[in-house]
Structure 1
């Protein structure tokens, strides 16, 4: 983040009574400013924002680092980072000294947090456009690089649930707590071979795992401990699901032999842990997620051996009446995914040793 002393103070322009995600645009902007650590007191450096417009939070994070930048929507001012005591009235006579960004030119911004390159939305907020803007802000909070189920299967369902949660005042932490309870319940059901009921509980948990993050981003209510709880549950539970899935096979008369069970557990647990270690090493040594290095990596993230793709394997295997083969398939897919990630890490080190930079294909696009 930019040093605090150089951050602009927020100055809203106008007023707008239309609610978005249950709050006024002024309140939404105040939360955005607080999240970015913008000072409350006026100074010679100001960020002027037109309350007639709503924009993706990426715009604010981008513009606060660019003094002298003005964002327009055609002939209308959206926001302006002005220095030296300048005001919006000074933009026209000093246009040549400012950097003008017109939204209608489709400028591309790389979002490191969500791992995607696009033109974040800007739109005028009115009662007629409110639901469309909520939809844009919801999908704007989606990761560009994630698994196929999260990206394609349940976005609409999660949008409906996110709107419902916001309308009744639920916090992201409440959603996380409900999801965590369902996660534990699914683990219990797997242990006794109640796979279909367990998969239903697990499916709802996985959808809520999308909802809590989107609710936090759309309502600007992310918190440090909320992120810890959400990611902590995500990180810890998958090996327990696969272990107790194996335990539950006995209820179907399909229990694996002791030796096979041990090898399967070594593959799924060690493979999962090592894959996470590789991802951590890539971030530490190259400053970015391994899945955004080259397009292959982003495409492979759709199906790599994480919870959701593995869950799909188990679902179809159980549908065929062979949850045991499903677990063995998960073990093999975990090993294959681990090898792919290990090769990519070695290749990245090779590129670095050759003196070439490691950059994301999204940033270069």
Structure 2
């Protein structure tokens, strides 16, 4: 069975039929959403070409991005076409560039900063939950902080599945999360650190859920991304500031001079570190944390919100939230120094005439 869909991206040919749902929708609808999302992001089909999707299979969206970059490319599993951009009406397996993924090859996903074998799996009632699980973890960034990577992926998977079944949009999840972020800020200011931690923890988990829900259900939006990334960027300094003012309720207030120095280190260090990351991205067209393996490992613990919350949590266990804030300030300064040194080293490498290449690109080429 073959269907032809008209999308804003161009003609889409659907091979086969499949009644098994994935993330609460038919596979044909999921593929249609991927095509429409690609069009919104500026992708287009080459003249005289069409997209081909095999409805009997589910696959990593990375494959769609790659076939849109190179007309005439088809990803296959053995002799079975999976997804491709091929001349209209042609035999997909006769495409100029047929790439068989059954050989176990790994591909580098620049968007998610990871190198892995992309998911391709036959979609059946028996495999649906495993495919959802793999597509969920496939949406995880390979280079991220230790909490996002190790602590709550399973919890976030459960919540993502529940949200998908309830037909919640990522923006709905974001609104709940932002509300809890504001509640946590208020509770920190009142010295109610444990309750604030609970609100903040749920917000941090939902900060993962909204992004995974958007990727798994192909429902991301421009404003949703603005809200999500905007809140992520802005709120941490407010948390640290009001954590400091809340120390008064514990009888642990810092002196005016000490509080000013801590805030200067925390806020200036955070802003400067973000600027360094932006400079690296602008000048070298890659995230600073994917340059060398050291940078990817340091991203696990660098002074971002989640690792900083670990520092504050440990300090609370010992009843010294003041020491936690001071330790956070020192860790921010140290992280800033590491990033500044890495940026300087990258510029030195560039001046020497050597290319700045991600270790993941090198690993993909070697594979």
TM range (shorter): over 0.9
Distance 1:304 1:41 in 2: 40
Q: In the alignment, is residue 57 of structure 1 matched against residue 61 of structure 2?
A: yes
1:79-101 CA-to-partner distances (Å, cap 9, x unmatched) read 2332275234xx3xx5xx73221
Q: Which runs of 5+ in 2 are unaligned?
A: 1-8
CA contact (8 A) 1:9 1:40 kept: no
CA contact (8 A) 2:188 2:196 kept: yes
Distance 2:361 2:226 in 1: 28
2:179 pairs with one of 168, 177, 181: 181
1:117-168 CA-to-partner distances (Å, cap 9, x unmatched) read 1111010001111100000010000000000000000000000000000000
Q: Which runs of 5+ in 1 are unaligned?
A: 1-6
Normalising by structure 2, what TM-score?
Answer: 0.93
What is the aligned partner in structure 2 of residue 146 from structure 1?
144
CA contact (8 A) 1:182 1:201 kept: yes
Distance 1:204 1:363 in 2: 35
Spell out the pairing of 1:152-231 with structure 2 (5 A cutoff).
152-231=150-229
What is the aligned partner in structure 2 of residue 31 from structure 1?
33
The structural deviation recorded for 1:9 is 3.1
What is the aligned partner in structure 2 of residue 69 from structure 1?
73
What is the aligned partner in structure 1 of residue 123 from structure 2?
125
Q: In the alignment, is residue 296 of structure 1 matched against residue 300 of structure 2?
A: no
The structural deviation recorded for 1:47 is 2.0
What is the aligned partner in structure 1 of residue 309 from structure 2?
311
CA contact (8 A) 2:280 2:286 kept: yes
**RMSD, aligned CA:** 1.7
What is the aligned partner in structure 2 of residue 82 from structure 1?
86
Q: Determine helix, strand or coil for the equivalent of 1:238.
A: helix
Distance 1:199 1:216 in 2: 26
Spell out the pairing of 1:237-276 with structure 2 (5 A cutoff).
237-276=235-274
The structural deviation recorded for 1:44 is 2.7
Normalising by structure 1, what TM-score?
Answer: 0.93
CA contact (8 A) 1:46 1:83 kept: yes
Distance 2:209 2:24 in 1: 16
1:245-283 CA-to-partner distances (Å, cap 9, x unmatched) read 000111111111111000000000000000000001111
Q: Determine helix, strand or coil for the equivalent of 2:48.
A: coil
Q: Determine helix, strand or coil for the equivalent of 2:17.
A: coil
The structural deviation recorded for 1:8 is 6.3
CA contact (8 A) 2:46 2:71 kept: no
CA contact (8 A) 1:10 1:40 kept: no
Q: Determine helix, strand or coil for the equivalent of 2:69.
A: coil
CA contact (8 A) 2:45 2:71 kept: no
CA contact (8 A) 1:172 1:216 kept: yes
More deviation in 117-126 or 202-211?
A: 117-126
Spell out the pairing of 1:96-115 with structure 2 (5 A cutoff).
98-115=96-113
Q: Determine helix, strand or coil for the equivalent of 2:295.
A: helix
The structural deviation recorded for 1:52 is 0.2
1:10 pairs with one of 9, 12, 28: 12
Distance 1:304 1:40 in 2: 38
CA contact (8 A) 1:9 1:43 kept: no
Distance 2:293 2:10 in 1: 36
Distance 2:74 2:169 in 1: 34
How many residues matched? 353
Q: Determine helix, strand or coil for the equivalent of 1:82.
A: strand
